[in-house]
Amino acid sequence: MIKLLSVAILAGFCFASNRAAPPTAGCWTGWFDRDNPSGTGDWELLINLWTEYPGQICAKPWRFQAVTTDTNTPYTQAGDVIHIHNAWQGFACRNQDQRSGMCRDYKIRFLCPCT
C-alpha cells in the first residue's frame, strides 16, 4: 500500500512539474477600458474586447493585468470582490458583490506572443 501511494505521489509530482507555465516574455497589448461600473458592474471581458478592438488582442493571451483607471491600482489591491479574473475570459467586477454597491472602474491588458 505504501509503495503504491509513493508511486502515485511521484507520478503526480512529475506531471505537475512537466506542465508548461504561461510564458512571461511576450508583448503586452495596450490598455482597454470598454465598460464603466455604472450598470451591473465593470465588464472587461475578452469576447467583447475582441469585437470592439478587432486584431488588437491575440486569440490566446498568456496573462493579463487589470488596474483601476484613476490610480492604476492593481485589482488585487483595490479592495473589490472580483467575479472573473483570468487571461482566457478577461475581467469582471459585479456591483452586487461589493459592500459599497459599486465596483471601481478598471482597465485591462493582455500578454500575447509578439508578432
pLDDT digits (tens, 9 = 90+) for 11-35: 444 444 445 555 668 999 999 999 9
pLDDT at 25: 82
pLDDT digits (tens, 9 = 90+) for 74-84: 999 999 999 99
pTM, two decimals, is 0.78
What are the CA-CA distances from residue 102 to residues 3, 35, 59, 115 (Å)?
54, 13, 31, 38
Triad 90, 40, 83: Cα angle to 5°: 40
Q: Which residue has the higher pLDDT, 11 or 99?
A: 99
SS3 11: helix
pLDDT digits (tens, 9 = 90+) for 36-74: 999 999 999 999 999 999 999 999 999 999 999 999 999
Q: Cell 493585468, residue?
A: 65
Q: What's the average model confidence in pLDDT over 90-110?
A: 98
